[in-house]
Amino acid sequence: MIGYYDYVLALIPGVLIGVTAALSLFGIPLRGALFLGAGASTIVVAHALFVRSPVPDGYQAPDGPARSESSASNAD
């Protein structure tokens, strides 16, 4: 089953190459087009990480530490 993150993995190089090629065809120098293409693919990655984060909806962070802290460790 293809999910959202599979599409994101396909979109990252697609956006980079597509935006760079399109802007190059419109006369923008390659370095500038590559910079803007990388910026567009960064937006795709940021959306996948921060807007639709890969954490289940029912996830809640624990209130305290997962294990008890020992008062001192014996390094001898």
Q: What is the mean pLDDT of residues 47-55?
A: 82
Q: What is the mean pLDDT of residues 24-44?
A: 96
Task: Please provide residue 8's backbone torsions phi and psi, each rounded to the nearest 5 degrees.
Answer: -65, -45
CA separation for the pair 55, 59 (Å, rounded): 7
pTM comes to 0.67
| Residue 55 scores a pLDDT above 80 | no
CB 40 within 8 A of CB 15: yes
- The type of residue at 10 is A
The per-residue pLDDT for 39 is 97
Contacts of residue 19, Cβ cutoff 8 Å, sequence gap at least 6: 33, 36, 37, 40, 41
